[in-house]
Amino acid sequence: MAESTTFETAGQRIFSLFQKNSALLNEGAPDFLRNDRELAMSHFQRMGIPDRQVENYKYTDLTRLFAQENFNRSFRPASFDFDMQEVFTCDVPEFDTHLLFHVNGWYFEQNKTDQFPAGTIIKSMKRALKEDTALVEKYYGQIADASMDPMVALNSAFAQDGIFICIPDHAVIDKPIQIINLLHSEEDLYVTQRNMVVVGKNAHVKLMFCDHTLAVHSFIANYLTEVILQEDSIADIYGIQNQHNGTAYLNGLFVRQERNSQLITNTITLHGGITRNHLHVDLHGEHANASLYGLSLTDKDQHSDIFTSVIHAQPSCHSNQIFKNILDDSSTGSFTGRIHVMPGAKKTGAYQRNNSVLMTKAAKMNTKPQLVIDNDDVKCSHGATIGQVNEEALFYLQTRGINENEARLMLMFAFAHEVLTNIRVEQLRHSIDRLVNKRLRGEISRCHDCILECIR
C-alpha cells in the first residue's frame, strides 16, 4: 500500500504543477496543442507513474525516481550568451557535421542553420508551432500515442521546445546533422524535450543525437522524438548517450515509415544512471525496411532499459533488431522487444535478437522478447541469450600469449562490435569503436570531454 500512496502524491504533485503553470506552458501555443496537453494530462492521471505492476515497466520501476521532490522545472529557457560551438567541441576527430545544440531541452537560438538545401526547415519546436502550425499539427502526437504510455503522456503534457526538422522531397543532406543535448544547471532539474523530424519523399538524412551532462546535479530528462519517413526516404538515426550516474534519461523515438522507406537506428548507451530507450517503429507502407541496433554498457548500479515495438501493418516489410548489453558491477539491464504482425501484413520478415553478457555475480539482466503474429505468411524469429565470455575462446587467446585480462577485453569488444559495424558514418563508427573500447577498459568513469571534475 505504501507504493500506491507515493504514486498518488507524486502523481498529484505533477498534476498541480501542470495546472499552476498551464498559462506559461501554453504561452503562444496553437489551440490544438492546448487540447493535446489537457488530453495527455488526463491520460497520465489515468495511468499514473508506472511501477512494476505495469507490464511495460516491469523491470524499470519509476516510482522511486518520481517520489524525489528535489527536481525543479524551468518553464522558460535559461539564457546562455556564449558561443556553444566554441565551448563544446565534439571529440570525434575531423568529424564534419551540422552542429545544433539544445540546453536543458531548449533549442539554442544561436544555432547556425544557413548551410542546408533550399526548402529545409530547421528551427525550434516553439517557433515551428507558431510558424508552421499546419505541418506540425499534421503529425504532432500522431505517432507517439499519449494514451498508451505514461511517459509519452507526461512529455506531451509538459513539452515546450525541442527541434523541428523538415527535409524537403528529393533533398540529400550531405553531412550528418548532429544534435547535441546538454544538461547544465545549478540545481536538480527536470527536463522535457520534444522533437519532430519530417523526411520528405526520396530524401536522405543522417541524424545524430548526442546526450551529455555538464553539471554535477541530478537530472530527469524526458525526451521524445517523432519521425516521419515519407515514401522512398532514407534516415539513419544514431543516439550516443553519455551521461553521469545522477541522470535518469527517459527517451522515446517514435517512427512512422511510408512505402519503400528505410530506417537504421543505432542506440549506444555508454553511461547514465537510469536509461530507458523506448523505440517504436510503425511500418506503415509496403516494402518499408527498419533496422534497429543498440548497445548498452553499464556498471556501478546503473540501469539500462530498452523497450522496442515494431508494428508490421503493411505487407512485404522487413525489420531486424539486434540489441546487446554488457553488464558490470551491480548494474541491471532489461530488454523488451515486441514484434507485432497485423492481419494482412503478408510476406513479412521480422527478426530480433538480444544478447547479454554478465560480468559479475551482482549484475542482473531481464529480457522479454515477444512475437505477436496474426498472419501466416511470415518469417519471424527472436532469440535471446544471457551468458558470459566463451571460456574456450578465452583459453585459445591465452594459448597465443595474450593475457587473460586482455583476451577478455578483446572478446567483449568483438561482442560489442557486431552492433557498431552497422553505423554508416565512417568517422563516427571509428570513434564509437574507440569510445566503447575505452569504456570497456573502465577509462570513461566520467563523461568524455567534460571539464568538470564530476564525482559521479
Partner 1 sequence: MDNQNTLLNEVAGRDYRFGFVTEIETDFIPKGLNEEVVRIISAKKEEPDFMLEFRLKAYRKWLTMKMPDWAQLKIPEIDYQEIIYYAAPRQQPKYESLDEVDPELLSTFAKLGIPLEEQKMLAGVAVDAVMDSVSVKTTFKENLAELGIIFCSFSEAVKHHPDLVQKYLGMVVPPNDNFFAALNCAVFSDGSFVYIPKGVRCPMELSTYFRINAKNTGQFERTLIIADNDSYVSYLEGCTAPMRDENQLHAAVVEIIALDRAEVKYSTVQNWYPGNKEGIGGIYNFVTKRGLCKGASSKICWNQVETGSAITWKYPSCILAGDNSVAEFNSVALTNNYQQADTGTKMIHLGKNTKSTIVSKGISAGHSSNSYRGLVRVAAKAENARNYSQCDSLLLGDHCGAHTFPYIEVGNQNSVVEHEATTSKIGEDQIFYCNQRGISTQDAIGMIVNGYAREVINKLPMEFAVEAQKLLQISLEGSVG
Residue closer to partner 1, measured from CB, 113 or 388: 388
Look at residues 114, 212, 225 and name the one whose alpha carbon lies nearest to residue 162.
225
**349, 358, 451 from 334: Cα distances, Å:** 25, 12, 32
Residue closer to partner 1, measured from CB, 214 or 327: 327
Task: Note the maximum CA span of the chain.
Answer: 70
Smallest distance, Å, CB 329 to partner 1?
11
Look at residues 187, 181, 145 and name the one whose alpha carbon lies nearest to residue 161.
181
Measured distance CA(145)–CA(345) in Å, rounded: 22
* Non-local CB neighbours of 178 within 8 Å, separated by 6+ positions: 90, 95, 97, 98, 99, 100, 208, 210
* Non-local CB neighbours of 452 within 8 Å, separated by 6+ positions: 214, 215, 216, 446
Please report, as ranges, the residues that interact with partner 1 according to CB under 8 A.
55, 343, 346, 356, 358-388
Residue closer to partner 1, measured from CB, 67 or 393: 393
In three-state secondary structure terms, 284 is coil
Residue closer to partner 1, measured from CB, 284 or 312: 312
Smallest distance, Å, CB 351 to partner 1?
10
Measured distance CA(443)–CA(431) in Å, rounded: 15
Smallest distance, Å, CB 162 to partner 1?
34
Residue closer to partner 1, measured from CB, 199 or 339: 339
Smallest distance, Å, CB 349 to partner 1?
10
φ, ψ of residue 419 to 5 degrees: the values are: -70, -40
Residue closer to partner 1, measured from CB, 5 or 385: 385
Smallest distance, Å, CB 350 to partner 1?
9
Q: Is residue 149 a contact partner of residue 278, using CB atoms and an 8 Å limit?
A: yes
Smallest distance, Å, CB 334 to partner 1?
9
